[in-house]
């Protein structure tokens, strides 16, 4: 007997099998990643989303904490063709509803045709179609989660590698993946992980060598404070950003972001560097993109599939951002040298002095 229902925007309800019980709602998205489920499920960028895996079997190499990107599961729900007991038990312990035994090819095709959509799930003994539809009813558009930064940020500044000999990085935590911190610490940087609503004065007190805006969930336009920081420090301190970080930097510098139809989520997104013509495979997880970089940023990398901006730079102002995830985890390590390039900006003191 059916013990789980997935209600899709528009009203279609799909039957499934409950793997972790509960009712939930969120924006239904899919990832094509065939590995890295522990990393994806602990990536704070998936907050308020329901993650569908297009790869059919999820959980076949267990669940190990050392691969986690944060201290909890972030998607509000999980959908797959088949979830192993390891993953199902983990999700149940985390209180995150999960379902399987449904046709995920059909679901992914629907998301590709109609775009990322609102979704409600009801899973467990005695649930009804109506329970899933009630969740759907309460589901908000991603951009309406205006306080999403508060849900994922560190409550206070945490310092990593305090005695490091390298640069001091102010990493503004809009939902940072742990691997970004690790990638910087491995290069001997001291990382000051700071709340997303850190003020200009608080950053000034630290006087960092780099201001780094992290990845994060939802609409970049809901990260006003990070936007203001970029605006305050541009031309004064080198600035870096990953994913949401790139989007925030673009908005702060007079560019524009927009919602994509179904986004890029996977571990084999090809990116071309326009300066070298080199193509690298990248890990991606985003539903918004930079529609217009504005006059101050050069698009230096693009997505081979749809030409969207993957890298923005301003050599004079020392700004370097990526839409994809150079820290990988999951995914290929082809672009880890991004962190070397960011820290090289910190060593070079040629950044223009702020005049306004
Ligand atoms: N991984 C991220 O930082 C995602 C950025 C943003 N939330 C988006 O969906 O586009």
pLDDT one-digit tens code per residue, 178-208? 999 999 999 999 999 999 999 999 999 999 9
Domains of the chain: 4-140 (3.50.30.20), 148-347 (3.40.50.880)
Which residue in 43, 324, 332, 328 sits closest to 186, CA to CA? 328
Work out the burial of residue 16: count CB atoms within 10 Å of its CB; fewer than 13 is exposed, 13-18 middle, 19 or more buried: buried
The answer on whether 312 is annotated among ligand-binding residues is no
User: How confident is the model at residue 350, as a pLDDT?
Assistant: 57
> Could you give the angle at the alpha carbon of 283 between the alpha carbons of 279 and 287, nearest 5°?
110
Question: 151 to each of 35, 64, 65, 209, 221, how far by Cα in Å?
Answer: 26, 24, 21, 27, 16
The C-alpha atoms of residue 194 and residue 184 are separated, in whole angstroms, by 15
Q: What is the ipTM of this complex?
A: 0.98
Contact between residue 75 and residue 95 where contact means Cβ atoms under 8 Å apart: no
Q: Structure tokens of 36?
A: 């890295």
pLDDT for 332 = 93
The answer, yes or no, to whether any atom of ligand 1 lies below 6 A from the CB of 49, is: no
pLDDT at position 351: 58
- 45, 257, 258, 282: residue to mutate for ligand 1 pocket, most atoms within 8 A of CB: 45
List beta partners, residue 258.
289
State if residue 265 touches ligand 1 by the CB under 6 angstroms criterion.
no
- Residue identifier of the C-alpha nearest atom 8 of ligand 1: 286
Q: Is 325 a catalytic residue?
A: yes
Q: Write b or e for each residue in 187-201: b if 16 or more Cβ atoms lie within 10 A of its Cβ, otherwise e.
A: bebbbbbbbbbbeee
Annotated catalytic residue, options 74, 264, 286, 325: 325
Q: Is 301 annotated as a binding residue?
A: no
How remote is the CA of residue 138 from the centroid of ligand 1, in Å? 22
81: its two tokens:
């063709």
Q: Are 92 and 202 in contact (CB under 8 A)?
A: no
Whether 221 sits among the annotated catalytic residues: the reply is no
Is residue 106 packed enough to be buried (19+ CB in 10 Å), middle (13-18) or exposed (0-12)? Answer: exposed
Q: Is 244 in the pocket of ligand 1 (CB under 6 A)?
A: yes
Of 39, 139, 243, 286, the active-site residue reads 243
244 is in an annotated binding site: yes
- Residue 241 CB–ligand 1 contact under 6 Å: no
Pairing of strands 117-123, 22-31: antiparallel
Q: Assess whether the C-beta atom of 248 lies below 6 angstroms from ligand 1.
A: no
Phi and psi at 106, nearest 5°, equal -65, -40
Q: Per-residue pLDDT tens, the chain, 356 aa: give them.
A: 799 999 999 999 999 999 999 999 999 999 999 999 999 999 999 999 999 999 999 999 999 999 999 999 999 999 999 999 999 999 999 999 999 999 999 999 999 999 999 999 999 999 999 999 999 999 999 999 999 999 999 999 999 999 999 999 999 999 999 999 999 999 999 999 999 999 999 999 999 999 999 999 999 999 999 999 999 999 999 999 999 999 999 999 999 999 999 999 999 999 999 999 999 999 999 999 999 999 999 999 999 999 999 999 999 999 999 999 999 999 899 999 999 999 999 987 655 443 33
How far apart, in whole angstroms, are the C-alpha atoms of residue 301 and residue 83?
A: 36
CB 176 within 8 A of CB 198: no
**Does the annotation count 327 as an active-site position?**
yes
Query: Could you tell me if the CB of 243 is within 6 A of ligand 1?
Result: yes
SS3 content of the chain, % helix, strand, coil (to 5): 25, 35, 40
Q: Which two tokens stand for residue 252?
A: 């702060």
Distance 288 CA to ligand 1 centre (A): 6
């Amino acid at each position: 007997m059916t013990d789980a229902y997935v209600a899709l925007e528009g009203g279609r309800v799909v039957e499934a099998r409950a793997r972790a019980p509960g009712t939930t709602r969120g924006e239904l998205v899919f990832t094509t990643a065939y590995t890295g489920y522990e990393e994806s499920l602990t990536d704070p960028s998936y907050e308020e989303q329901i993650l569908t895996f297009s790869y059919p079997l999820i959980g076949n190499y267990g669940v190990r904490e050392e691969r986690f990107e944060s201290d909890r599961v972030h998607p509000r729900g999980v959908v797959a063709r088949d979830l192993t007991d390891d993953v199902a038990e983990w999700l149940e312990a985390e209180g995150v509803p999960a379902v399987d035994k449904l046709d995920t090819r059909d679901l992914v095709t629907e998301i590709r045709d109609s775009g990322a959509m609102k979704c409600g799930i009801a899973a467990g003994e005695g649930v009804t179609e109506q329970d899933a539809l009630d969740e759907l009813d309460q589901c908000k558009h991603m951009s309406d989660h205006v306080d999403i930064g508060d849900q994922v940020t560190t409550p206070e500044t945490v310092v990593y590698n305090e005695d490091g000999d390298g640069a001091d990085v102010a990493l503004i935590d809009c939902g940072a993946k742990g691997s970004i911190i690790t990638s910087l610490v491995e290069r001997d940087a001291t990382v000051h992980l700071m709340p997303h609503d850190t003020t200009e004065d608080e950053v000034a007190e630290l006087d960092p060598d780099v201001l780094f805006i992290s990845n994060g969930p939802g609409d970049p336009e809901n990260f006003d404070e990070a936007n203001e920081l970029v605006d305050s420090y541009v031309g004064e301190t080198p600035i870096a950003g990953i994913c949401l970080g790139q989007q925030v930097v673009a908005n702060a510098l007079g560019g524009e972001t927009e919602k994509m139809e179904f986004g890029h989520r996977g571990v084999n997104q090809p990116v071309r560097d326009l300066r070298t013509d080199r193509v690298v495979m990248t890990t991606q997880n985003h539903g918004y993109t930079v529609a217009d970089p504005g006059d101050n940023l050069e698009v230096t990398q693009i997505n081979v599939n749809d030409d969207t901006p993957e890298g923005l730079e301003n050599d004079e102002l020392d700004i370097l951002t990526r839409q994809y995830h150079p820290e990988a985890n999951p995914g290929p390590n082809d672009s880890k040298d991004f962190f070397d390039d960011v820290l090289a900006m910190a060593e070079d003191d040629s950044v223009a002095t702020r005049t306004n």
